[in-house]
Amino acid sequence: MAGSSFGTLFKITTWGESHGAALGVTVDGCPAGVPLSAEDIQAFLDRRKPGQNAFTTKRNESDTVEILSGVFDGITTGTPISMLVKNEDQHSKDYGNLAETYRPGHADFCYDEKYGTRDYRGGGRSSGRETIGRVAAGAIASKVLKMLGISFTAYTKSIGELSVDYKNFDASEIMKNAFYMPDADCAAKAEKYLELIMSERDSVGSSVECIVRGLPAGIGEPVFDKLDAKLAQAIMSIGAVKAVEIGDGIDVVKKKGSENNDPFTTNGDTVTKLSNHAGGILGGISDGADLLIRASFKPTPSIYREQQTVTKSHENTMLEIKGRHDPIIGPRAVVVVESMCAVTILDLMMCGATSRVDNLKKIYG
């Protein structure tokens, strides 16, 4: 299978299946000298693991990470960092009826058409558990970026028709509710709404936002490797994402140029903007303002209602999915979006270090 690697200098390769022995990631290109422990990685993985509340799958996984290489005496050595998380609670029998039947909304049919075979247990590589490797890699990227003064605030923006009221935005609320929402009132409404959705044996869509602060101007390569282009690729590669927006996103179609442009101003030697409709990116390059990215997730396709589908032999049939599934994807994907943003930004910053001869002089001059 091609396409399991992402990045140029800070490069990650994820591996493993939902019901295999383990999943993990190899991170190649992490600079030497970064203090790193399993606890650093575990803090990120704990934010995405299942079974945390009534609104996540009951799959009971500790998602305990093992660092196999690339770290010595608590410091990265500059060699590839390999990390592993064992699967502990697979109920593969729940998927027995899917060996010959395609689940609506899933990649089952597409995998069979492409490879002629597939791991039907939990979706194999198309499962949400593939994101374990992304999050482990993102924990490392985030730690490096924190050393450079760059921070991330990621959260669930909306669940169905319910959306965060920015007048109530409180970052301290994000870790206090089951949905990672920065609005306590919206989170309380979302809880009642999801209870209704679950009683109807259904699921619902959601969106996740990530704000990146402290990113200097000048990050991103013009033309094909624009910062927003690479972020879009990174976020769209997360399963169930159907749209990515930067800044005002799709709302720009309603605006005039005089409304959408962000006026520049100066404060001494510092150039800033009076607004941030662009979301921190101009011409594919960071402009020094906060970077704002938004991802839209489709409803979880595994629902407990009977659905029409077909078999591998192209016979019409009805399917009732069994197993343990989230009624919503967004909340557990908050840390995944944050991680992919961190991996992308660090990689582009490392690539951008060669854009000026002055940078080389600082190192080798």
Mean pLDDT calculated for residue range 275-297:
98
39 has a pLDDT exceeding 60: yes
For tokens 């101007």, name the residue: 217
54 has a pLDDT exceeding 60: yes
99 three-class SS: coil
CA distance 190 to 108: 31
Q: pLDDT > 70: what percent of the chain?
A: 94
Residue pair 293/246 in contact by the 8 Å Cβ criterion: yes
198: Cβ contacts below 8 Å, ≥ 6 apart: 55, 327
Mean pLDDT calculated for residue range 136-165:
98
| pLDDT range class, residue 310, cuts 50, 70, 90 | very high
| pLDDT range class, residue 83, cuts 50, 70, 90 | very high
| pLDDT range class, residue 55, cuts 50, 70, 90 | low
For the ranges 199-203, 215-219, 344-348, the lowest mean pLDDT is seen at 199-203
Residue pair 208/334 in contact by the 8 Å Cβ criterion: yes
Closest CA to 151 of 208, 230, 215: 215
85 has a pLDDT exceeding 90: yes
Mean pLDDT calculated for residue range 70-82:
98
Residue pair 27/137 in contact by the 8 Å Cβ criterion: yes
CA 263 to chain centre: 31
Residue pair 194/159 in contact by the 8 Å Cβ criterion: yes
What global pTM score does this model have? 0.94
Burial 321-354, CB ≥16 within 10 A → b, else e: bebbbbbbbbbbbbbbbbbbbbbbbbbbbbbbee
pLDDT at 320: 86
Q: Which two tokens stand for residue 324?
A: 């343990």
